[in-house]
Amino acid sequence: MLMRYFIIAFVLLLVACGGGAPKELANECSSLYEDNGQQVVVNAYFKILDNENVISIKERKILGDSLEQAVFQIAPAYKDKDEQDWQINFKGEGFSLTKSSLIAETTFGNSDASYSAYSLLSGEKLIEYTYDKLEVLFGDEQKKRYLGFYSNKGVKSEFIDRNSNKNTLGILSYASQDKLLKAIRIEVTDPFWLDILDVSNPVIELSPLKQDAIALNSGKTLYFTSNQGMEDEGVNFNIKVVFYTTDTHKPVEFFLQVRENQLLVSPVFTHSVFHLESL
């Protein structure tokens, strides 16, 4: 089976290198050309994932501009007739891959580095985050969930910018393996708190309700040990979110719930520091 994918990737490589390359320079699947007085390099290549899927990667970068990040186009190089056709497009510093997800990194100026997790099953953007992403795992990897916090000090994406206001501390997102399920805007009740809280380094912990799941990695990972957890009605856990003040390092916290795979905001949620809004 693996040899089959190597052959497919090799054929696709020949096709990619043989046509459409700029005339000035072509070396394997890399090309260099001039666009409006700027030198642009384009790299096209393939990767075989651990699950033997093959993805096609095209990277476009302007040379000599340290502030300009690369533009990436990523898509399945080969798919069965019953699989989805998709393409991931983003501008960033680079990316990393797992069997079923892609993590893109974006940096700009003094902003916190920002990350986006994409599904390699559907091409959908799952979550955006500046703080480490948290994961809910099951025996079946296709049932994974993600949770991520995006600080207002991160590089603004279109989604984050559109859903932020002057009191926004950040956005918390919850996603399945193939789509975003819920996003919550975390606001402060008084702008004064924006200068007091360390928004770049919150502590977020996941904790199970019953013995059907265990917390790992200091609460950043939750592993469901029973098969029931793979169904929506079995996905139940609590979330603790703690921000610390920058002067006295005093914790300021609140709690959220995931019930039947739904990230909930209580209609009676009240807090002296935080206000939560479902997006």
pLDDT digits (tens, 9 = 90+) for 25-82: 333 487 887 877 778 889 998 888 776 778 899 999 888 766 678 899 999 887 666 6
Torsions phi, psi of 128, nearest 5?
Answer: -120, 140
Beta strand 221-224 with 213-216 is antiparallel
Higher pLDDT, 49 or 221: 221
- Taking 60 as the threshold, does the pLDDT of residue 151 lie above it? yes
- Taking 70 as the threshold, does the pLDDT of residue 10 lie above it? no
Residue count (the chain): 279
- Taking 70 as the threshold, does the pLDDT of residue 8 lie above it? no
Residue 18 binned pLDDT confidence (cut-offs 50, 70, 90): very low
- Taking 50 as the threshold, does the pLDDT of residue 222 lie above it? yes
pLDDT for the residue numbered 264: 93
- Cα dihedral 230, 126, 219, 251 in deg (nearest 10): -140
The residue type at 161: D
pLDDT for the residue numbered 12: 45
pLDDT for the residue numbered 229: 52
Exposure string of 170-184, with b = 16+ CB inside 10 Å and e = fewer, is: bbbbbbbbbebbbbb
- Which residues, including other chains, have CB under 8 Å from residue 174's CB and lie 6 or more apart? 127, 145, 146, 147, 180, 181, 182, 183, 258, 263
Count of other CB atoms within 10 angstroms of residue 34:
10
Least confidently predicted of 50-59, 95-104, 190-199: 50-59
